[in-house]
Amino acid sequence: MADQRGRIAVIDDDLGIRRSLERLLTLNGFEVTLYESPEIFINQSHTNVFNCLVLDVHFDGMSGLELRELLLRSGAKSPVVLMSAADENQIPGLPPDCKFLHKPFSGSVLITAIREAVSSVPGL
């Protein structure tokens, strides 16, 4: 049974990571939709239907940080868990209100970050 606050979008350009996160999150009761880029996410999703976005920082096109800013400007309220193989201090403009996970991370760390992010937004 899916968590009532568990509609998660995973946006990452690495197919292996997307599939791995999909398995992990599904086993933990989340409904998961996968996207390979921010542009595909924008074009294929109704951004407000997700309770949380698990978003890579680096892409060839629009960055994860740029997507987050675009969503904020459009009024989307879904919290974001950012992830990257780069260290946190190597990412300029990393928002202090986002959870950040350094790849690789454990499944339990991701589940905790998602639950904390979702619970921090009133009305989700």
* pTM of the predicted protein model: 0.89
For residue 38, the enclosing domain spans 1-57+68-90+108-124
pLDDT along the chain (124 residues), means of 10: 70 96 96 95 81 94 92 88 86 82 94 90 62
Domain assignment present for 102: no
Residue 75: its pLDDT value, please? Answer: 87
Residue 40: its pLDDT value, please? Answer: 94
Tokens encoding 84: 């990257």
- 79 Ramachandran zone, left/alpha/beta (phi>0; psi -120 to 50): beta
Residue 21: its pLDDT value, please? Answer: 97
The enclosing domain of 2 has a CATH number of 3.40.50.2300
Domain assignment present for 6: yes
Count of structural domains within the chain: 1
CA-based radius of gyration for the chain: 13
2-7 long-range contacts (CB < 8 A, ≥24 apart) are: 2/29, 2/30, 2/31, 3/28, 3/29, 3/30, 5/51, 5/118, 5/119, 5/124, 6/30, 6/31, 6/51, 6/118, 7/31, 7/33, 7/49, 7/50, 7/51, 7/52
